[in-house]
Structure 1
């Protein structure tokens, strides 16, 4: 047995038919609690954990281990879990409403802090035993909404086990924190997040992704799809409540069992509604369903039908769904190429696939205009550039007829400062053609927004920044989220995500939340998908490396994309995940990482790599 409370069943999903292989691993029959990280083996990612009831004669520590393991199993009714409890505890038991995520499996020992050896006997005369569960907590997951909330703190909870008249040990007091998982166990249980999609509150509307976590994606994809749709219909929370809205009317729910059916590329969803929506609203509801299911479960759809009360409310076809696609704003599929500034201060363009770098015609083709960073608009018709030294921002066209023109913005920083920490940051374009940049001065930092990249820049309020300073920024394509690298007074750099809200002419970044608090010394950030960022930073005492971070703060298992060369200072990624990562290495220059390949050298020298945006 793997632990005392579960049996692992390896599942391979083929054409929706599960081919199941059974297997189990032994554990000592006595001694202290063994914390098991079942996700250490690659095959365990698709493993189904079947709960196993307590065995007659199990010691107190084995009862605790078994109870914890059944919570992690795929028995979401918790029938077996209750068998580990006393009658009173069974009566009071409620399914976990949250998941606590620790860096590793919880350390479990007797409450007197005396560790028990693997084969130490249980006290024979004791009728009550207490155990302490502890670990380093990095996040919680809300069971109802599926929302992941980063937050570093020390976790501690207690469990009490009593010997009943039958002579068997049972739990009388369950530990707090709900389902307690290590990061590896979390990965096995939830796999990748599923993006649910909502409409931005700003006009024109665009879909924005909100990741949620559902169980059984591999073993029971139909159940996982239903859970994801239920989370979407329930509505957005947290930051998404500030920046986005749902087309689903309030109090909408799924219409019982079988409410979500995916068959022959057709998704049918039956709802309970108080009032039927109008046709446009219904089509927007269908669009939210379309991209949640198609992007979250790699399900190629041909249509989505929304039904309620026995009637069909609307049908959305593939052509009609295209008008809501996030690619309309990212335009990554239209322009699969990236840019950088070469050693001669020229703006270079490189195809994302095979191909050589070429000089871009326009005001930055000859190196006379000394620049330190650039941002190319998503339609590749405009370019913004910060002059060497960080004192001036230009915004102009791309092409042989474009001229540099007058500065769009001048920094208020004192001349002669270090351009890495003073003056204007690298700019960024959203998918609506608006330009964003921050100015770093001795007094702090100021965020600016320019309508169309040509209007006089206006100050954007960032009330959650306090005395910290913006060092780098990247705005999302839909213009409702902004990723910031923020430095504190001691020079420490961390990653933050803000929601962009609008009230008349007033723009604010609120709320502003630190994500991935386990990351240290963050140097650069770039959008790498609808809800994923690529960053340069390090974890703990590790080395600086390029890694992925979800917008909710989770570091995916594939985060460690460590360069084989040192001195990584910048990274560029595309929202099209098929495009290569691009980075600047101190030793190798401009390098790129195609999907499924190794790092390749692009140029010996260069700075400021960017994809359009």
Structure 2
């Protein structure tokens, strides 16, 4: 039997005992343990652990080898213990005091590979390399940034011995600069949530990640973490186009670790002295940002937010109905629209609460009075008073009135190319501007028509890198635009920031900046639409997979829920109003729709390019 098996049995028993104490005897599989052998080996901490399992690291044994110290530390980084105290026990005293794991998170597509770089030649100074394929990083503002290439993570851990005589212990002197987690551990430990800021007068979602439970560094619960992140300011990506109503330097009152919602569904938020003398309109905008942020995190439990001054008195309060007005979100659509088999624009009124639906009717106005005009695709303004239509041959863009009769107006934009390389389906933004792209490889360009009228202006797009825009959709908040970009025979989805030089007298300089991948998990994207809470509904396929429709977070961070039975879809439309059904084009069934909690139904046999206003 010997000493080595006995030592392993003692360490295993200790691991189970510590886990039982830390998790009240439940879910022992979530506890970390330390492998004994191997020079080059994967370290996949708590692989497959359920998101509700609490994981506690195992402190190092007194006689732990350098390999055990490294493996134990990597696993302890995934624990839920306060201030990551167990992970710090693997570090030297100086390193433990200086280590700041909250500065950033590196997310790997799989576990770390740990290999000994130095040790046999110089046992007094063992050194290990930890490496893996990078999936993403999460910065100090909690914003997620996916890696699009084959970026490798690589860092070196230097070990040294602390103590004297028999009390000497191996410890890590150079820990990673932040947390390093596998994708499975990241999804177990963190959760996505939207912070909200203003772009002009409209509220915009800014996706970030907070810990599922109390943050080890700040000791804040998830709601408090999210509010603290909101006060810190927008993400670097969205920051250039949004503003926060909170005065610079605003924080939660000192010592605030938990924010609770009372029996009247009211959240009371104590703030620092920077807000003490804020005027009522500004305070109400602050409260609106808070209400939407916390509501996104907790569901529908928050009906009102009260902001408190530094002395605890009430600064202002905002109820949900008032916040909806201040947020200036697009109105709930009345109709859905599509192009029928005779190339006419039709509108539907699909009501999930009714068994029988009304038949489609022609869109009113000049289009109904000009049957000779053939519609290729269309977009309807949020107020449903105007429609932008592209001719069936893809050459011309027209804007028609849906409230009055009259002759068909002249084209506002004409291009040289035609089908299949003509104009894309257009899109309206919240500011009333109209967007469309020319897909002709010889003249590819993104165009914007200010106010949906007048001369079209070419928009500079940074980050295309030789790609060609083949589809687009402006976000309901007007701060972003989703672009389908074709390059090397593949269509990928990106989101870009719409930068408007307000107040500089040069409105034509509107540009789209800093494209970021919105669906890096998909090998090819067919269609997309903006969906509630800043998400995207995307039709596409993973490498080697079948075409599916799924909700994605706009920062490209996570694949959300898929739509049931969504094979064969080539176009999709969703509304900012979550009560409205998804509408899609099916190759087999024509225009179909998905009522909330139900199965797909056929709305119209035949037809194409369904859209909601926007």
Q: State the TM-score bracket (shorter-chain normalisation).
A: 0.7 to 0.9
* Deviation (angstroms), 1:147: 1.0
Distance in 1 (alpha carbons) for counterparts of 2:214 and 2:373: 54
SS of the equivalent of 2:408 reads coil
Distance in 1 (alpha carbons) for counterparts of 2:20 and 2:427: 48
SS of the equivalent of 2:28 reads coil
Pick one of 539, 555, 558 that aligns with 1:555.
Answer: 558
Per-residue CA deviations over 1:414-465 (Å, capped at 9, x if unaligned) read: 3xx442xx22110112234332212233434332333443444333333444
Distance in 1 (alpha carbons) for counterparts of 2:144 and 2:551: 16
Report whether the alignment pairs 1:385 with 2:389: yes
Q: Which residue of 2 aligns with 1:509?
A: 511
Q: Is residue 10–residue 22 contact of structure 1 (8 Å, CA) maintained in 2? A: no
Q: Which residue of 2 aligns with 1:301?
A: 303
Pick one of 204, 208, 212 that aligns with 2:208.
Answer: 212
* Deviation (angstroms), 1:533: 0.9
Q: How many residues are treated as equivalent by the alignment?
A: 578
Report whether the alignment pairs 1:136 with 2:142: no
Length-normalised TM-score, structure 2: 0.83
* Deviation (angstroms), 1:372: 1.9
Q: Which residue of 2 aligns with 1:15?
A: none
Q: Is residue 51–residue 80 contact of structure 1 (8 Å, CA) maintained in 2? A: yes
Distance verdict in 2 for CA 1:585–1:128, change over 3 Å: farther
Distance in 2 (alpha carbons) for counterparts of 1:293 and 1:319: 15
Per-residue CA deviations over 1:153-185 (Å, capped at 9, x if unaligned) read: 122223344566548763424453621222222
SS of the equivalent of 1:441 reads coil
* Deviation (angstroms), 1:532: 0.8
SS of the equivalent of 1:46 reads coil
Distance in 2 (alpha carbons) for counterparts of 1:481 and 1:309: 39
Pick one of 546, 562, 573 that aligns with 1:543.
Answer: 546
Distance verdict in 2 for CA 1:571–1:107, change over 3 Å: farther
* Deviation (angstroms), 1:224: 1.1
Distance verdict in 2 for CA 1:320–1:314, change over 3 Å: same
Pick one of 63, 70, 73 that aligns with 2:69.
Answer: 63
Per-residue CA deviations over 1:547-582 (Å, capped at 9, x if unaligned) read: 222122212343x5475634x422222223344433
* Deviation (angstroms), 1:531: 1.8
Distance in 1 (alpha carbons) for counterparts of 2:601 and 2:46: 35
**What are the within-5 Å matches in structure 2 for residues 257-272 of structure 1?**
257-258=255-256, 260-264=259-263, 265-272=265-272
Distance verdict in 2 for CA 1:94–1:321, change over 3 Å: closer
SS of the equivalent of 1:195 reads strand
SS of the equivalent of 2:285 reads helix
Length-normalised TM-score, structure 1: 0.84
Q: Which residue of 1 aligns with 2:422?
A: 423
Q: Which residue of 1 aligns with 2:6?
A: none
* Deviation (angstroms), 1:287: 1.4
Per-residue CA deviations over 1:90-143 (Å, capped at 9, x if unaligned) read: 34433341111122222334448xxxxxxxxx999955544432222121001x
Q: Which residue of 1 aligns with 2:571?
A: 570
Distance verdict in 2 for CA 1:582–1:89, change over 3 Å: same
Distance in 1 (alpha carbons) for counterparts of 2:237 and 2:337: 32
Distance in 2 (alpha carbons) for counterparts of 1:380 and 1:297: 33
Q: Which residue of 1 aligns with 2:494?
A: 496
Q: Is residue 306–residue 315 contact of structure 2 (8 Å, CA) maintained in 1? A: no
Q: Is residue 532–residue 551 contact of structure 1 (8 Å, CA) maintained in 2? A: yes
Per-residue CA deviations over 1:576-613 (Å, capped at 9, x if unaligned) read: 33444333333444344444455444444322121221
SS of the equivalent of 1:22 reads coil
Q: Which residue of 2 aligns with 1:411?
A: 414
Per-residue CA deviations over 1:401-426 (Å, capped at 9, x if unaligned) read: 54561234333223xx442xx22110
Distance verdict in 2 for CA 1:38–1:602, change over 3 Å: farther
Report whether the alignment pairs 1:472 with 2:471: yes
Q: Is residue 111–residue 131 contact of structure 1 (8 Å, CA) maintained in 2? A: yes
Q: Which residue of 2 aligns with 1:98?
A: 104
Q: Which residue of 2 aligns with 1:341?
A: 339
Q: Is residue 447–residue 459 contact of structure 1 (8 Å, CA) maintained in 2? A: yes
Report whether the alignment pairs 1:524 with 2:527: yes
Report whether the alignment pairs 1:286 with 2:283: no
Higher strand share: 1
Distance verdict in 2 for CA 1:509–1:541, change over 3 Å: farther
* Deviation (angstroms), 1:511: 2.2
Q: Which residue of 1 aligns with 2:7?
A: none
Distance in 2 (alpha carbons) for counterparts of 1:466 and 1:277: 46
**What are the within-5 Å matches in structure 2 for residues 310-349 of structure 1?**
310-325=312-327, 328-332=328-332, 334-335=333-334, 337-346=335-344, 347-349=346-348
* Deviation (angstroms), 1:344: 3.0
**What are the within-5 Å matches in structure 2 for residues 222-233 of structure 1?**
223-233=221-231
Distance in 2 (alpha carbons) for counterparts of 1:8 and 1:555: 30
Q: Which residue of 1 aligns with 2:442?
A: 443
Distance verdict in 2 for CA 1:21–1:222, change over 3 Å: farther
Per-residue CA deviations over 1:326-349 (Å, capped at 9, x if unaligned) read: xx53323x53x5332232324242
Q: Is residue 34–residue 72 contact of structure 2 (8 Å, CA) maintained in 1? A: no
Distance in 1 (alpha carbons) for counterparts of 2:571 and 2:478: 22
* Deviation (angstroms), 1:21: 6.7
* Deviation (angstroms), 1:528: 1.0
Distance in 2 (alpha carbons) for counterparts of 1:597 and 1:218: 37
Distance in 2 (alpha carbons) for counterparts of 1:9 and 1:602: 56
Q: Is residue 438–residue 470 contact of structure 1 (8 Å, CA) maintained in 2? A: yes
Distance in 2 (alpha carbons) for counterparts of 1:564 and 1:292: 31
SS of the equivalent of 2:444 reads strand
Q: Is residue 214–residue 220 contact of structure 2 (8 Å, CA) maintained in 1? A: no
Distance in 1 (alpha carbons) for counterparts of 2:567 and 2:412: 36
* Deviation (angstroms), 1:84: 1.3
Per-residue CA deviations over 1:209-242 (Å, capped at 9, x if unaligned) read: 1111111359999711111111111112323221
Distance in 2 (alpha carbons) for counterparts of 1:2 and 1:509: 62
Q: Which residue of 2 aligns with 1:176?
A: 176
Distance in 2 (alpha carbons) for counterparts of 1:186 and 1:6: 26
Distance in 1 (alpha carbons) for counterparts of 2:21 and 2:152: 33
Report whether the alignment pairs 1:397 with 2:398: no
Distance verdict in 2 for CA 1:466–1:60, change over 3 Å: closer
Distance in 2 (alpha carbons) for counterparts of 1:600 and 1:6: 55
Distance in 1 (alpha carbons) for counterparts of 2:17 and 2:209: 22
